[in-house]
Amino acid sequence: MKNTHRNNTGSHLAALAARRFVTIALMFAASVGAFPRLASAQTPTLTVLADLADLPNQDIGRSSTNFGVILASDGNFYGTTTFGGSANFGTIFKLTPTGTITTLVNFTGPNGTYPIAGLIQASDGNLYGTTNGGGGDANGKPFNTQYGTVFKVTLDGTLTTLFIFTFDAMADRWPNGANPEAALVQGTDGNLYGTTINGGTDSSETNNDDGTIFKMSLTGTLLISTTVHGPFVADPQLPRAPLIQGRDGNFYGTSIGGGNLTYGGGTVFQFTPGGVVTVLHGFSDPEGRDPEGGVVQGSDGNLYGTTEAGGTANFGVAYRVTPAGGFTVLHQFTGSHPTGPTDGAQPFGEMILARDGNFYGTTSQGGAGDLGSIFQLTPAGVYTTVYSFPNTGMSGAGITGQQPKGTLLQTSDGNFVGTTTGSGAGGAGTVFRLNIVPQPTLLNISTRLDVQTGDNVLIGGFIITGTLPKKVIVRGIGPSLGTAGVSGALADTVLELHEPDGTVITNDNWKDTQEAEITATTVPPKNDLESAIVATLDPGVYTAIVSGKNGGTGIALVEAYDLDQTGDSQLANISTRGFVETGDNVMIGGFIVGGNTGSVALRAIGPSLATLGVTDALVDPFLELHDSNGAVVASNDNWQDSADKQVFIDNGIAPTSDKESIILGTLVPGSYTVIVSGVGGGTGVGLVEAYNLQ
C-alpha cells in the first residue's frame, strides 16, 4: 500500500452529540490508567538542531557564528558562518524547524568575505547583513582591497551588495568606515543603522582604529556616517556590537574602547537619528571593561548589558545604565569553581529581555564544564546559571557544542534557540534549542474514521523527534468499537507501519506475532481480529495505515502510544488522513496530554491537499477541540481569523489555504477530542494533526 502521509496535515472539531464523546472516552479510559503522569520537568534540556559541519564545504573546526540566528517570516531560521563555504569566506545558511540545514549563499570575495555579524529581516521581508571584508566595485578594484559590505538577500538566496566600504587613496583613509562586525537594525523610519569597527574621517593607513556609526536606506544609499574619535577623547572607539532603538526613538550601543581619557575601557552611547553621539558611560575597572555585546532596554526603560572582561575576577560584569547615565554593576562573573558556584565567564553577546521579564544571555567560558553557560539575570541583579555546556570531549556523537557567543532567540513557546562557536559532533559550531519551559507530552493519539477502500483508508502519521529511539505501540481498532455502541464498525482490521527507509511492518491479528509483548503494554486490543505493532523506532517520520481485510469497510480507529517517556525523544507531531463524511462519520481525533501543562497546536487541512494530487479534498474544514467531558475548549473555521495565527507562522506550520483551520491550546494533562467536519455539510478527504510545540 502506498505511503501517503504528508507533513502538512490538519484537524476539524465539530459539535457532536454526547454519545460520540462517550465512544472516545471509553477508548481513552484504559490508556489514562495505564500510563503514569510525568513529574513536572524543571531541569532545562538542550537539543542540537543542527551541526554547522553538515553544511557543504565547511572549514571544519572554524565554521561558527558569533551572533546567533533569526527566525524569519517563513518559519525558518537564518544565520551566518564566518568561514567555510565554497571559497572559505563564509556563508549564509537556512535551518528548518525540523533540523534540515542548507547553504543559502556562499561568500566568494566580490560579494563579501567573513560575515561576522548576524542577520535581520526588514519590513520588506528580505534579510540584511554585513560582511567584515571583501566586495568589488564599479572601478574593478579587487575584493581584497575592499573593507566590508552591506548586503540584502532574499529568502530564496538572491544576494545584492548594497554598499562597499572602500579606501580613499587620495584622502588616505576609509572615510565611511571599514570592517563592520555588527548586525544591522532597522529603525522606525525604515532605514538601516549599523557600526564599523574601523575607519572614519580620522582614519588612515597607519591609524584605522576609530570606527563609525552609520545610517543607510534599504537601497544602499549612505545617509549619515558619524566618525567616533577615541582613544584620546571621551568618545566611543571600536564599536562592534549591534545597535538597538530605544523607546525614545534614539539608538543605543556599546564600544570596546574609548570613553575614559586615562583608561579607555569602552562605552555605552546614544546615537540620534540625526547622527549625534553622546557617551552615557565610560568603563574603568572594577566596573568591567570591553563590552563586546550591545545593550537591551528593560521594561523599566533602563539599559542592561555585559562586559567581556574586567570586574573583580576579570571575567566581566553585568550592568545597568539609566538614560541619564547612572551606572550599577548587577553581577560579577567569577567563572567555574571546583568547590563553589559554577558561574559563567566572559559574556560575549548581548542579553535579551524574555517574556518572563528577566534577561537571558550566554557566557563563552565558565559554567560547570568551563565551556560556557546560559544564564538568567533579573532586573534587580539576581543571577542564575540556567545551563552549563558539558565537557564531553572534543569529538564524537552527541556533542552539544561549546563556547556560545551569540545572542539567544526566544521562540513562541518560551524556550530558546542559540548557537555555539565550536565542538559540535562534526568539530564545528552548533545551533541548539534549550527547553526551559516544562512541555506537555503527547502520550497517545487516536483518530476514528469511516474506513473505505483505495486511497480512502485510514492513514495515520507521526513524527519522533530527538536523538534516541522510542518504543511505541500502534493499534488498528475495529470490532471492539461495536461493543462501545458504534454502528458499522470495521469487522477485521489490517495494520501497516511504514518506516522512513521504506520498511513496512504488517499485522492482521495482534495475537499472531507479538502477543506477549503487546499484552505487557497493558493496552492490548480487546478483539482478536484487531491489529497491533510494538516497535522501537529511531527519530523520523512514520505512517500507520488501517484498512479492512479483503476490502472490508466500516468505522475504525488508529492509535499510537508512547511506551517510553524517558529520554529526549518524543512524539512531537501526529496526524491522520481520511475521508470526512457527515453525521457520526466526521473525523474524530483524540489525544492524551501527559507531563506538564503546555501548548499543543492543532490543524485541520483540506483544500491544500488538492495541490498535492489528492482527489475529493475537503473544501472547507471546521475544527473543534473538546475536553474529556465533551465541553468545547476552542473552535476555528478559517485560520487567518485566529488570534494565534502568528504562533503557527513562527513555527513554520501555518496552513497554505485560508479555509483551513487551527487551534492553539494551552492544555493541562488529560484526554482531549478533536473533530474535523465540513462547513455546510461538505465531505471529502481531510487531515487532522496535533503538534507538541517545543
Query: Exposure of 693 by Cβ count < 10 A (0-12 exposed, 13-18 middle, 19+ buried)?
Result: buried
Helix (H) or strand (E) holding 650: helix 645-650
Which residue range(s) make up the domain with 536? 18-42+439-692
User: What pLDDT is attached to residue 560?
Assistant: 83
Q: How far apart are CA 347 and CA 332, in angstroms?
A: 11
The tens digit of pLDDT for each residue in 348-372 reads 999 999 878 899 999 999 888 888 9
Q: Is residue 375 situated within a structural domain?
A: no
pLDDT digits (tens, 9 = 90+) for 153-193: 999 999 999 999 988 877 778 889 999 999 999 999 999 99
Overall number of domains in the chain: 1
Of 22, 11, 23, 32, residue with least CA distance to 561? 32
Using one digit for the tens of pLDDT, what is the confidence trace for 516-544? 999 998 889 999 999 999 999 988 888 88
DSSP state of 85: S
- What whole-number distance in Å separates Cα of residue 415 and Cα of residue 396? 26
Whether residue 684 is contained in a domain is answered as yes
Residue 109, in any domain of the structure: no
Q: Comparing C-alpha atoms, which of 583, 589, 562 is closest to residue 663?
A: 589
Q: Which of 338, 500, 360, 538 is nearest to 7 (CA)?
A: 500
Rounded to whole angstroms, how far apart are CA atoms 118 and 67?
5
Is residue 596 assigned to a domain?
yes
Q: For residue 236, is it within any domain?
A: no
Look-up of cell digits 563592520:
180
pTM here?
A: 0.65
Q: Is position 671 within any domain?
A: yes
193 inside domain = no
Is the pLDDT score of 261 beyond 70? Answer: no
Question: For the chain, what is the mean pLDDT?
Answer: 83
As given in the structure block, the three cell numbers for residue 498 are 511504514
Please write the tens of the pLDDT for every residue from 29-54.
222 222 222 223 347 888 888 888 88
Instruction: Determine, yes or no, domain membership for 384.
Output: no
Q: Are 604 and 660 in contact (CB under 8 A)?
A: yes
Question: What is the domain-level CATH number for residue 616?
Answer: 2.60.120.380
